[in-house]
Amino acid sequence: MAKILVTGGCGFIGSHTIVDLVENGYEVISVDNNSRSNPNILLGVEKITGKKVKNYKVDLCNFDDTFAIFQENTDISGIIHFAAYKAVGESVAQPLMYFENNLVSLINLLKCVQEFNIPHFVFSSSCTVYGEPDEIPVTEKTTPKPAESPYGYTKQMSEQIINEFAKAVTTKHILLRYFNPAGAHPSGIIGEMPLGKPQNLVPAITQTAIGRIEKMHVFGNDYPTRDGSNMRDYIHVCDLAHAHTLSLQYLESGKQTERCKVFNLGTGSGITVLEAIHAFEKTSGEKLNYEIGPRRPGDVVAIYANNDLAREELGWNPQYSLEDIMSTAWKWEQRLKADETVFSSQYGELN
C-alpha cells in the first residue's frame, strides 16, 4: 500500500481528499498545524472510512520539524500539498504573511522531496493564476495574467518554483488548478468550516439560509455576463478530491512523461452568482435573504474551465451537479447548526 503525505489534511479539500485516497487503498498521513483548521475533522474522516489517519501537528515553515516527519516515514511515495493560506482579502492586508507562509512551507517541503527522493508531488493550485482571461473557457495553455492579490501571486510563484525545481530532480509533479470548490461529503459528516464571516459564495449562501448571516450580498449585477453577475465554475469537493487520487494513479502508471504537468479542475460550465443562488433556493426550498451590492474589488468578470485534458489524461469525469453542490452544502450547514459540538473535541462521539 502506497503511503501518501497530505499537507493541510484537516482542511476542506484536504479532508475530502483523504477520504477518497483511503477508499482507493492508500495509506495516508496528514500534516497540519491547525492554524486554520480543526483536527477533529479527521474523526469524521475515520467515521466515513473506518480508518484512523494520523496528523502531525507541525508547521511546514519549520524545516527541522518537517524533516523529522520524513525521517519517521521513509516509505512516503507521494505528497499532496494543500497547506496554505487562501483568503484573498487577508492577503491584501498582510502580504508578507502570505508570501512567507505559502512559499517557505513549499520550499521546506521540496527540500525534503529532494533529500528523501520522493517520486510524486501534487500541488494545489488555482484558476486564480489566469487572472481576467481574454477568452473563456480557459485551457492549461491560456497565458496567466498578473495576479489580482498576494494570494494569487503565491500560487503563481509556487507554480514557478515547482517548475524550476522539477528540472533539477527526477520527481514527477502535477499542478492542479482548481476552479471554485464547494459542496460537502454527501454523508453530511465532513464539510467546510470557514473561520469567521465566509468570503466564498456557497458558505455565504448556506450561512444566510440558516440564519448565521442576516443577509448576503451579490457583489455586482452590472458585469457583461448573461444576468450581470460574475460567472464561475463551481466544482464539487468530492469530484475535486477524486482528481487527486487519479493524479497519483497517473503518476504511478508512468504515463506522465513531463516532469511537471498542469491540469484544470472545473466542470466546464460557467454559472453566475444569481444562478447559483436560484439553484440553492430550488434544491433547499428556502428563500434566501439577499440583495444586490457593489462589486467586490479584485473579482474577475467570468471564468470557467476547459477540462478536456483532465478528462482525457487522468480519466476524470466529474459526477456531481450544481444541485448536488447546493444540497450537500446545505445538509452540512444544517448539521453544524443542529450539532454545535462538531467544532468541539466531542466530534468523535457523534452519530
Q: Which residues are catalytic?
A: 151
Binding mask 271-300 for ligand UD1 (x = CB under 6 A): --x----------------------x--xx
**Nearer to ligand UD1 by C-beta: 28 or 216?**
216
Q: What is the DSSP string of 219-234?
A: E-S-SSSSSSS-EE-E
Contact 199, 88 (CB under 8 A): yes
Q: Are 108 and 61 in contact (CB under 8 A)?
A: yes
200 contacts ligand UD1 (rule: CB under 6 A): yes
Q: What are the residue ranges of helices labelled H in the chain?
A: 12-23, 41-49, 63-72, 88-93, 95-99, 105-115, 150-168, 201-210, 237-253, 273-284, 308-309, 322-338
**Choice from 218, 240, 248, 262 touching ligand UD1 (CB under 6 A):** 218
Taking the C-alpha atoms of residue 131 and residue 157, their distance in angstroms, rounded to an integer, is: 14
Q: Binder to ligand UD1 among 17, 128, 206, 306 (CB under 6 A)?
A: 128
Asked whether position 20 contacts ligand UD1 by CB under 6 A, the answer is no
Element housing 123 (H / E): strand 120-126
Rg of the chain on CA atoms, in Å: 19
In the list 6, 19, 174, 201, the residue contacting ligand UD1 (rule: CB under 6 A) is 201
> Under the criterion CB under 6 A, does residue 302 sit at the interface with ligand UD1?
no
Q: For residues 96 and 105, give the distance between their C-alpha atoms in angstroms, rounded to a whole number.
A: 14
CB of 277 to ligand UD1, least distance (A): 9
Examine residue 22 and tell whether it contacts ligand UD1 (CB under 6 A).
no
- Residue closest to 60 by CA, chosen among 41, 40, 34: 34
Which of the residues 58 through 117 are near ligand UD1 (CB under 6 A)? Answer: 86, 88
Q: Which of residues 129-168 bind ligand UD1 (CB under 6 A)?
A: 148, 152
Q: Interface with ligand UD1 includes 216 (CB under 6 A)?
A: yes
Residue span binding ligand UD1 (CB under 6 A) among the ranges 28-36, 121-129, 167-175, 185-193: 121-129
Phi and psi at 147, nearest 5°, equal -70, 160
Residues written for the chain: 351
Give yes or no for residue 36 binding ligand UD1 (CB under 6 A): no
Instruction: Kindly state the cell numbers that stand for 192.
Output: 467546510
State the minimum distance, in angstroms, from the CB of residue 296 to ligand UD1: 5
Measured from the CB atom, the residue of 48 and 87 that comes closer to ligand UD1 is 87
260 is an interface residue for ligand UD1 by CB under 6 A: no
Q: Is 212 in the site for ligand UD1 (CB under 6 A)?
A: no
- CA dihedral angle for residue 40, residue 42, residue 47, residue 50, rounded to 10 degrees: -150
Q: How far is the CB of 298 from ligand UD1 (least distance, A)?
A: 6
Taking CB under 6 A as the rule, does residue 232 contact ligand UD1? yes
**Site residues (CB under 6 A) for ligand UD1?**
86, 88, 126-128, 148, 152, 180, 199-201, 204, 216-219, 230, 232, 273, 296, 299-300
